[in-house]
Amino acid sequence: MKKTVFLGALTVAGLAAGASAAATLDDVKARGKLNCGVTTGLVGFAAPDANGHWDGFDVGVCRAVAAAVLGDAEAVEFVPTTGKTRFTALASGEIDMLARNTTWTLSRDVDLKFTFVGVNYYDGQGFMVPKGLGVSSAKELDGATVCIQTGTTTELNLADFFRANNMSYEPVPIETNAEAQQQYLAGACDVYTTDASGLAATRATFEAPADHVLLPEIISKEPLGPLVRHGDNEWGDVVRWTLNALISAEELGITSANIGELGAAAGDNPEVNRILGTEGNLGEMLGLDAGWAKAAIMAGGNYGELFEKNIGENTPIALSRGLNAQWQDGGLIYSPPFR
């Protein structure tokens, strides 16, 4: 009985949400600016440079969406959020989308009511320790003091991991990556744990990165991707397909170097033509103009270019593509077709 009432209420709520969903796309267009939630600063993923210009892999997604919707990759208001504030910021409408190393989980989708539009980085939780500690496996961490960011999947995974392995630990909850770094470097915690990519990015900013190692264990799946509020599917589609356009562009060999040429007139690959708007009306279907994907790709390059420029092997962060290679190369990065 109770359940049916609850379900009924949910359905009504769902209908109401569908009907009254704010048209984020129109709001963004009217505002002329995209409000994009990012980290408070994680070099390689999202951090302002010396001139206050935001840069990074997640920032690249924000800029691509801004370019697709507004035709201007600079028309983004970056809103720094902590692990704790990010969801409130998104749910309350303070930001239009969140691109902040955020893990796609069932409860965030279903209970917190957010739509993850895809995955831009397949990650897992790792541990970083100073070399001098002489630890070579996470199983040796019994009794260690561990720095974690609060409000993350990290703290839940950590509790599960230590519990499952019958080990004890002392959690030191911290709000931002910068504070965690300070405590870790001062030796106030033995271990820093977060997404492995975040660890690599954090380590890259240390004075002596070589003095710290990532332990081999990866204790969780952390598919990180951009997300939007439930209830505005049109806006979700725009963000989803912008991300897919970046991914497809890499797959089809559209780069920032050749995009001018490829986009000038219809070529002999119909999918490239559809993406770049020289054929078909995909842009119109999304409520955008024909050059939307072209603008998105030109904003910072295709998925692979964004990766190489911000976190790839030639950057201090030096992440290899691994799981994040294109599907033809054995990775998990895969975009549904543009048609």
Partner 1 sequence: MTTMTDPHQGSFRLSMLIYDSRYRSMTIQIVALIGFLTLIGWLISNTAQNLITLGKEPSFGFMLEPAGYDINQRLLDYDSQDSHLRAALIGLLNTLLVAVMGCLAATVIGVVVGVLRLSKNWIVSRLMAVYVEGFRNVPVLLWIVFAMAILIETLPPPNAFRGENPEATMKLGETVAVTNRGIYIPEPLFSRGIGDAHVFGDTSLRFDVSLDLIALASVFIAGLLISGLINRRANATQNATGVRPTVWYWRLAVVVLPTAILLWVLGCHMGYPELKGFNFKGGTHMRNSLIALWAALSLYTAAFIAEIVRAGILAVSKGQTEAANALGIRPNKTMSLVVLPQALRVIIPPLISNYLNLTKNSSLAIAVGYMDITGTLGGITLNQTGRELETLLMLMLCYLIISLTISGVMNWYNESVKLKER
Ligand X SMILES: N[C@@H](CCC(=O)N[C@@H](CS)C(=O)NCC(=O)O)C(=O)O
Regarding 84 and contact with partner 1 (CB under 8 A), the answer is yes
Q: In this structure, are residues 302 and 243 in contact, taking their beta carbons and an 8 Å threshold?
A: no
Residue 84: CB atoms within 10 A of its CB come to 14
Regarding 331 and contact with partner 1 (CB under 8 A), the answer is no
Sheet bearing 191-195, strands edge to edge: 169-174, 144-149, 191-195, 125-130, 212-214
Scored b (16 or more CB within 10 A) or e, 167-185 reads eebebbebebbeebbeebb
Q: Of the listed pieces 149-157, 243-251, 259-267, 274-282, which binds ligand X according to CB under 6 A?
A: 149-157
Contacts of 163 (CB under 8 A, 6+ apart): none
Q: Of the listed pieces 23-31, 46-54, 180-188, 213-221, which binds partner 1 according to CB under 8 A?
A: 180-188
Burial of 111 (0-12, 13-18, 19+ CB in 10 A): exposed
Regarding 120 and contact with ligand X (CB under 6 A), the answer is no
Burial of 252 (0-12, 13-18, 19+ CB in 10 A): middle
176 binds, among partner 1, ligand X, none (CB under 5 to 8 A by kind): ligand X
Regarding 134 and contact with partner 1 (CB under 8 A), the answer is no
CB of 160 to ligand X, least distance (A): 14
Interface size with partner 1, residues (CB under 8 A): 50
Regarding 104 and contact with partner 1 (CB under 8 A), the answer is no
- Residue 38, strand partner residues: 80
Regarding 324 and contact with ligand X (CB under 6 A), the answer is no
Regarding 176 and contact with ligand X (CB under 6 A), the answer is yes
Residue from 121, 122, 169, 338 binding partner 1 (CB under 8 A):
169
What's the CA gap between 140 and 21, in Å, rounded? 50
What's the CA gap between 46 and 44, in Å, rounded? 6
DSSP-derived letter for residue 103 is B
Residue from 71, 75, 145, 178 binding partner 1 (CB under 8 A):
145
Q: Of the listed pieces 151-159, 265-273, 275-283, 302-310, which binds partner 1 according to CB under 8 A?
A: 151-159
What's the CA gap between 282 and 264, in Å, rounded? 17
Residue 83 or 236: the one with the smaller Cβ distance to ligand X is: 83
Site residues (CB under 8 A) for partner 1?
Answer: 9-10, 12-14, 16-17, 20, 83-84, 87-88, 91, 107-108, 111-113, 132-133, 141-145, 150-151, 155-156, 158-160, 162-163, 169-175, 182-183, 186-190, 230-231
Site residues (CB under 6 A) for ligand X?
Answer: 39-42, 82-83, 100-103, 149, 152-154, 176-177, 194-195, 198, 222, 224
